Amino acid sequence: MTLMIIGLALWYAGHFWKRALPAAHASMGARAKPVSALVILASIVAMVIGYRSVEAYDLWSYPPALKHANNLLILIGLYFTSPGPSKGALFYKLRHPMLFGFILWALAHLMVNPDIASLVLFTGLTIWAALEMLVINRAEPNWTPNPKGAIAKDGMFFVASVVLLVVIGYVHGLIGPSPFGA
């Protein structure tokens, strides 16, 4: 659990240090981006290893139908993390579609993973995404949406999200529990 929490802390640091320590970030110049990327990559590795090392036991039970709701939320989350919302006609006025999709992804995982490690990890990531929205809104208050795109772009990115869901679900089943199985 400690390694997973360290991973969460690194995730927060890697994403927030640009705005929390702007002088330090600016002094690094072009090196700041690769440093951020390495911190975030290290955070993912620590979260995954830490998560997989925690002894899992369910804190509550959930109805099997939630697995289908989980997959639907994951699909919607994938769509929102695609360029579709900002390039299409349906959600182009949504300011933070990727972070919204990330929140849906985390909440979907909370629905079907009733163990303590999942509770800590996915709640921590949900809080990060919500805080990230607040920080961005404060730093950049004068935001304007992209021009309205075509509905065909929404459809194209939705189909791509379905394909991505199948691929991710297949790989997820190879390394952990299958999201499509019983």
Q: Answer yes or no: do 30 and 78 share one domain.
A: no
The CB-side HSE value for 23 (13 A sphere, CA atoms) comes to: 0
Residue of 118, 108, 106 whose CA lies nearest to 52: 118
Average pLDDT, integer, range 40-46:
97
Q: Are 81 and 101 in contact (CB under 8 A)?
A: yes
Residue of 67, 78, 79 whose CA lies nearest to 180: 67
Q: Answer yes or no: do 84 and 120 share one domain.
A: yes
| The pLDDT value given to residue 164 | 95
Q: Are 105 and 79 in contact (CB under 8 A)?
A: no
Q: What is the mean pLDDT of the chain?
A: 92
What residues contact residue 3 under an 8 Å CB cut-off, 6+ apart? 46, 49, 50, 53
Q: Answer yes or no: do 173 and 148 share one domain.
A: yes
Q: Are 109 and 47 in contact (CB under 8 A)?
A: no
Q: Answer yes or no: do 94 and 168 share one domain.
A: yes
Q: Answer yes or no: do 141 and 95 share one domain.
A: yes
pLDDT tens by residue, 156-177: 999 999 999 999 999 998 988 8
Q: How many domains does the chain have?
A: 2
Range of the structural domain that residue 33 is part of: 1-54
Radius of gyration (Cα) for the chain, nearest Å? Answer: 18
Q: Answer yes or no: do 36 and 87 share one domain.
A: no
Question: pLDDT at residue 39 above 60?
Answer: yes
Q: Answer yes or no: do 11 and 93 share one domain.
A: no
